[in-house]
Amino acid sequence: MRRVHPVLLLVLALGAACQPVAQRRPPVEEVLLERRTQGIKGLIAAAREGRVVPFDEVLVVVHDDLVQDLVEATLPYEQTLADRYLVRAESASVTFDDGFALVQLRGRASLLQDRDTAAEIDVYGAIDIVELDPKTGVLRGRVKILAVETQRVDLAGIQAPVRRLVDDLSREQLSAFEPLMSNIEIPVRLEQAVSIPAVNQAGIRIQEAVLPMEAAVVDVKAFRGKLWVCVKAKTQTAAAAARP
């Protein structure tokens, strides 16, 4: 067996140690703090105008533990990402504070072709858009990925494939993790019409009355563990929706 020269070994080892750090995303804590400070600034600005919760017609208040409960109900689940990785989401945490609706998923990421090469993964997302589904009228939050953090499962050993996995995951575009978090429906629905059915019995005939309604989310705030969703709703005027 041919021996590797010890000096060469030394050079290789030092080379690995001095390898420049790959293009990495900013630290998760920094990203989250940036969002929190932005969120609080927005809340303070709204408070100065006396419109922290601009509730004029309909207000929906959602506790973060409800949304966490909803997400947890779907766990565990597995999702293939970028045709390379398999992520198993195992736990979730949702907090609505500081003007920021944070959804965090924790799980295990592995190579699709080698499940033993795995790392812990935390995916952080924000419910950035809250809207009413135009078809069903159900309130829906859309999650945008903000940050991803990966850690080796086994810190004691040095496993090159695991290290590569962690490095590769840390270099992936955030959009690659989007399939992990998408839409979360809130169990509230705003009807698009109020109606009373027709009557035709015992000598009484009344046509069905339908009052079309338009509703749209106009303001969303996250603080004190709740999401405050203000909905602007209006009924169509009598003239516009007169009976035929």
Partner 1 sequence: MTMKKRWLAASAAMGAAIALASVAVVGVLRRVPSESARLRELRALHESLQTQLESHLRSERLLEEDFDSGQLTVAIRTPYLGGIIREVSRRYLDRVQLDLAPDIRVRESGEVKTKMLGGSLTLGEWAIDLRIARLVGVLGADTPDLSVAEQNKVRVAMPVRLMSARGEGTLHFRWDSRGMANLACRDFEVEERLQATAFPDIYRVSGAFVLSEDRGLVIAKPEFPAEKYRVRLDLTPESWAKVEAAVRSQDTFDKCGMAIDPADVLPKLQKLASAGFDFKLPRSIFRSVEMPAQFRSRVEVQGTQVDVAVDPKVMRLTKEYLWYSASLKARIMGTSATPAPRARPRPRR
Of residues 51-70, those binding partner 1 (CB under 8 A):
52-53, 55-63, 65-66, 69-70
- Out of 115, 175, 196, 216, the only residue in the binding site for partner 1 (CB under 8 A) is 196
Looking up tokens 């736990």, which residue turns up? 91
Of 44, 39, 45, 227, the closest CA to residue 130 belongs to 227
CB of 235 to partner 1, least distance (A): 6
Q: Is 43 in the site for partner 1 (CB under 8 A)?
A: yes
Q: Is 186 in the site for partner 1 (CB under 8 A)?
A: yes
Q: Is 164 in the site for partner 1 (CB under 8 A)?
A: no
CB environment 202-223: b (16+ within 10 A), e (fewer): eeeeeeeeeeeeebebebbbbb
Q: Is 182 in the site for partner 1 (CB under 8 A)?
A: yes
Q: Is 16 in the site for partner 1 (CB under 8 A)?
A: yes
Q: Is 112 in the site for partner 1 (CB under 8 A)?
A: no
Cα 240 to Cα 238: distance, rounded to the nearest angstrom? 6
Q: How far is CA 95 from CA 13, 36, 62, in A?
A: 44, 11, 11
Q: Is 48 in the site for partner 1 (CB under 8 A)?
A: yes
Residue number with CB closer to partner 1 (90 or 172): 90
Residue number with CB closer to partner 1 (14 or 114): 14
